[in-house]
Amino acid sequence: MVPIFYVAKPSSKEELTLHIRNLFSLRKQLQKFYLLQNSNSKTNKLNKSLLELSSKAGDIFLNNVKAYIERNIENIDLNVEKMAHDFHFSHSQFSRKLDAMIGLAPIKYIRYVKLQKASIMLAETD
């Protein structure tokens, strides 16, 4: 959830700049949180304050996207257009939503999940 703030008028340029900087910082923290949450590395520690900031709807959406990719991991025709259609989004809406949440374009996220799965499979074969 993005906090809503109220700035009394007249406000100073410095105060507005500070609020905007804080909002951008919060967005970056949430992107890192979602990216770390989807990582299988045991060394990743989740920051408690970021956990409180995450929205349940965002968690559900990302979990569904990751599960969809994992279900279709062997499908060489898996693409962003098909995913967006299956999630009832337009291509651009789907891309913007994923980019805003995790800071990755959908095709890069697909590659990321596939590489994670490959690293797990390689580790298990040793």
Per-residue model confidence as pLDDT tens digits over 3-55 = 555 666 667 778 778 778 877 787 777 777 777 666 654 444 444 444 444 55
Place of tokens 């898996």: 78
pLDDT digits (tens, 9 = 90+) for 61-106: 888 998 999 999 898 888 999 999 999 999 999 998 888 888 889 9
Whether the per-residue pLDDT at 60 is higher than 90: the answer is: no
Do the beta carbons of residue 100 and residue 28 sit within 8 Å? no
Is 1 contained in some domain?
A: no
Place of tokens 């906090």: 3
- CA neighbours closer than 13 Å in the CB half-sphere of residue 103: 14
Number of domains in the chain: 1
Q: Mean pLDDT score of the chain, rounded to an integer?
A: 77
Is 24 contained in some domain?
A: yes
Distance of alpha carbon 83 from alpha carbon 89, whole angstroms: 9
Do the beta carbons of residue 114 and residue 79 sit within 8 Å? no
Is 5 contained in some domain?
A: no
Do the beta carbons of residue 38 and residue 110 sit within 8 Å? no
The residue segments making up the domain with residue 36 are: 13-125
